[in-house]
């Protein structure tokens, strides 16, 4: 990697100061994306600001009918947390299926949400459940927060501090892993919420999205077999080395049916 200044601020305010919007500093959380990029010399920030140990970004707590997870909580912490397992068991299982133990003990929910990798798992849960992304400057609903391929509304210097999910015991996440990377070739987070049935798909290629036609069919009493003919947004699916759009669309149907099946058990 190229030379850079490593900073470990003690507070979020200090971190924000270091992440000067006019500079090229980068925030480092679990580093599961950033460090490989740095090692491959694909980025050369002058400063890396390590926010992973900030106490203000830590903690998992219940707030009324929501569960709030600090941005610096690792996948391992989320997957093993009794509050998460009780309030939102599908999220605990999702977190426990990311990467491998090394990744899960380093990677964080805030890092994943902020990076919005089109094959990441967390964005699907956030979108399906209308999570609220809390940043150093505001609170944003997931539907507004994610803006496509690696895109979010985060502005330079703005940090995710927490993610707030509604409690939901009737939810499931099923991932069809890419055999090489184990990222989602297709991942589906399905939930039956007070607002209705929600289906969010990740891995399709251009960023997480909701499969509204399927949601409507299931809401209007359809069964998983009706998903076979539910229209998918074709332009949301890409063809690449790992699968054609046609195959990904097939997986979206199969995996959605599996996820719905898990909820309805």
Partner 1 sequence: MNAPPTGKNFGRPVRRLEDGRFIQGKGRFVDDVILPRQTYAAFVRSPYAHARITELDAAPALEMPGVLRVMTAADLAGVANLPCGWMIHSRDGSEMKVGARPILASQIVRYVGEPIAVVVAETRDQARDAAEAVMVGYDELPVVVDCADAMGPDAPQLHDAIPHNLAYDWGLGDEAAVDAALAGAAHKVELTLRNNRLIPNAMEPRACNADWDAYAEKLTVWMTHQNPYGMRAMYSGVYGLAAEHSLRIVSPDVGGGFGAKAPNYPEEVAVAFAAKLVCRPVKWTADRTEAFLTDAHGRDHLTTATLGLDAEGRFLGLKVDTIANMGGYLSTSGSLIPTYMYATMLSGQYVIPAIHCRTRAVYTNTCPVDAYRGAGRPEAAYVVERIVNVAARALGLDQAEIRRRNFIREFPYQTPVVFEYDSGAYEASLDQALALADYNGFAARKAEAAARGKLRGIGVAAYVEACGIGPSALLAKLGAGAGMWDSSEVRVNPVGTIEVLSGAHSHGQGHATTIAQLVADRFGVPIESIRIVQGDTDRAPAGTGTYGSRASVGMSATLLACDKIIAKGKRICAHLMDVTEDSIRFEDGVYASAATNRTVPFGEMAAAAHAANAFPTREIEPGLVESSFFDPPNFTFPSGVYVVEVEIDPRTGVTQIVDFSAADDFGNVANPMIVEGQIHGGLTQGIGQALWEEARYDPETAQLITASYLDYGMPRADGLPEFRLSFGCTPSPSNPLGMKGCGEAGAIGSPPAVINAICDALDIEHTDMPARPERVWKLCQQKGAR
Q: Which residues bind partner 1 (CB under 8 A)?
A: 1-3, 39-41, 176, 179-181, 183, 241-244, 247, 250-251, 254
Q: Which is nearer to partner 1, 228 or 234 (CB)?
A: 228
Residue 2: CB minimum distance to partner 1, A = 7
Q: Which is nearer to partner 1, 2 or 6 (CB)?
A: 2
Residue 152: CB minimum distance to partner 1, A = 22
Residue 180: CB minimum distance to partner 1, A = 4
Nearest to 124 by CA among 93, 100, 160, 102: 93
Distance CA 200, CA 9 (A): 36
Q: What sign results for the dihedral spanned by CA atoms 173, 57, 15, 147?
A: positive
Residues 6+ apart with CB under 8 A from 174: 187, 188, 190, 255, 258, 259, 262
Q: Which is nearer to partner 1, 176 or 211 (CB)?
A: 176
| Alpha carbon 195 to chain centroid, angstroms | 21
Q: Which is nearer to partner 1, 64 or 180 (CB)?
A: 180
Residue 241: CB minimum distance to partner 1, A = 6
Q: Which is nearer to partner 1, 101 or 141 (CB)?
A: 101
Rg (CA), the chain: 18
Residue 181: CB minimum distance to partner 1, A = 4
Q: Which is nearer to partner 1, 116 or 135 (CB)?
A: 116
Instruction: Cite the DSSP H helix spans in the chain.
Output: 12-18, 34-39, 75-80, 82-87, 89-96, 101-104, 109-115, 122-128, 142-145, 212-219, 245-264
Residue 52: CB minimum distance to partner 1, A = 23
């Amino acid at each position: 990697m190229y030379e850079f200044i490593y900073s470990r601020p003690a507070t979020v305010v200090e971190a924000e100061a270091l992440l000067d919007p006019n500079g090229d500093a980068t925030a480092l959380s679990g580093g599961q994306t950033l460090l490989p990029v740095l090692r491959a010399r694909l980025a050369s920030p002058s400063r890396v600001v390590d926010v992973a140990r900030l106490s203000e970004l830590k903690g998992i707590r219940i707030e009324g009918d929501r569960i709030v997870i600090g941005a610096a909580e690792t996948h391992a912490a989320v997957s093993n947390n009794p509050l998460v397992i009780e309030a939102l068991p599908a999220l605990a299982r999702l977190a426990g299926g990311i990467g491998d133990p090394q990744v899960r003990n380093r990677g964080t929910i805030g890092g994943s949400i902020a990076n919005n990798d089109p094959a990441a798992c967390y964005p699907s849960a956030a979108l399906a459940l209308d999570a609220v992304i809390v940043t150093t400057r505001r609170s944003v609903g997931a539907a507004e927060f994610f803006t496509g391929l690696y895109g979010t509304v985060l502005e330079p210097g703005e940090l995710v501090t927490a993610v707030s999910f509604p409690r939901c015991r009737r939810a499931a996440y099923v991932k069809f892993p890419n055999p090489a990377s184990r990222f989602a070739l297709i991942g589906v987070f399905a939930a039956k919420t007070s607002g209705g049935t929600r289906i969010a798909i990740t891995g399709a290629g251009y960023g997480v999205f909701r499969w509204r036609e399927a949601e409507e069919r299931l809401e209007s009493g359809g069964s998983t077999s009706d998903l076979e003919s539910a229209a998918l947004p074709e332009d949301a699916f890409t063809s690449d080395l790992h699968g054609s759009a046609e195959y990904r669309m097939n997986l979206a149907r199969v995996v959605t049916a599996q996820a719905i099946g898990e909820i309805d058990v």
